[in-house]
């Protein structure tokens, strides 16, 4: 199938896969462990599924998770994982940790994009001075956040500093 033949959004893509597999919306929802109304909203483009839900849907539809992530825009064309995809497939994270990290990451990205729009700075993907900045490695930063979360959940976090 040529790229031009692909559906325009992830919901249409999931619907096409489901219809090709000849399974009902309810059957797919049951197999993927999501609610029937939620899956219906995804297919109609009213909801954007998380990387974790995409992984569950890919498994239920028997397609590769990277293919699903690529279609949803979580992977680039070369197959490089984005932060959200990395969080979703990390076996060492609990579901709650994955949800928290995803929310934090999306909040930071939205805030940075809002700030860039207000100040007229180039955003990701636009040429400009931002390309020349020394930005920490994304994977290194993610590992640091995951380490911080695991330390807190294990109860090994140091006590807050005393106020003087």
Residues 7 and 67 in one domain: yes
**Under a CB-based contact definition with an 8 Å cutoff, are residues 105 and 84 in contact?**
yes
Choice between 17 and 156, residue whose per-residue pLDDT is larger: 17
What is the residue range of 109's domain? 90-153
Interval 45-83: pLDDT, tens? 999 898 889 989 999 998 888 778 878 877 665 544 567
pLDDT (mean) for 111-115: 87
Residues 50 and 98 in one domain: no
Give the model's confidence band at 36: pLDDT under 50 very low, under 70 low, under 90 confident, else very high.
Answer: very high
- 72, 101, 119 - which closes a domain: 72
When the pLDDT of each residue in the chain is averaged and rounded to a whole number, the result is 73
DSSP 4: G
Residues 68 and 123 in one domain: no
What span, in angstroms and rounded, lies between the C-alpha atoms of 10 and 45?
Answer: 8
Look-up of token digits 């860039």? 116
Residue 144 within any structural domain of the chain: yes
- 72, 103, 127 - which closes a domain: 72
Residue 164 within any structural domain of the chain: no
- 72, 103, 133 - which closes a domain: 72
Residues 67 and 97 in one domain: no
What span, in angstroms and rounded, lies between the C-alpha atoms of 158 and 147?
Answer: 13
Residues 9 and 62 in one domain: yes
Residue 30 within any structural domain of the chain: yes
0.75 exceeded by pTM: no
CATH of the domain at 65: 1.10.260.40
Residue 119 has pLDDT above 60, yes or no: yes
| Residue 113 to residues 21, 54, 122, 138, Cα–Cα distance (Å) | 39, 25, 9, 17
Residue 83 within any structural domain of the chain: no
Residue 79 within any structural domain of the chain: no
Which tokens belong to 50?
């998380």
Number of domains in the chain: 2
Instruction: Choose the most confident range, by mean pLDDT, from 5-9, 80-84, 88-92, 154-158.
Output: 88-92
What span, in angstroms and rounded, lies between the C-alpha atoms of 45 and 131?
Answer: 33
Give the model's confidence band at 139: pLDDT under 50 very low, under 70 low, under 90 confident, else very high.
Answer: low
Residue 7 within any structural domain of the chain: yes
Residue 64 within any structural domain of the chain: yes
């Amino acid at each position: 199938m040529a790229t031009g033949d692909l559906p325009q959004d992830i919901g249409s893509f999931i619907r096409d896969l489901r219809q090709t597999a000849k399974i009902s919306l309810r059957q797919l929802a049951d197999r993927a462990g999501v609610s029937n109304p939620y899956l219906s909203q995804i297919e109609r483009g009213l909801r954007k599924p998380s990387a974790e839900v995409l992984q569950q849907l890919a498994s239920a539809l028997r397609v590769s998770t990277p293919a699903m992530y690529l279609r949803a825009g979580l992977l680039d064309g070369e197959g490089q994982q984005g932060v959200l995809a990395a969080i979703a497939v990390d076996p060492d994270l609990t579901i709650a940790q994955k949800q928290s990290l995803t929310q934090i990451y999306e909040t930071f990205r939205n805030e940075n994009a809002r700030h860039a729009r207000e100040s007229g700075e180039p955003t990701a993907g636009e040429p400009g001075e931002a390309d020349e900045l020394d930005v920490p490695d994304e994977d290194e930063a993610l590992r640091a956040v995951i380490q911080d979360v695991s330390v807190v959940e294990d109860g090994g976090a140091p006590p807050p500093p005393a106020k003087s």
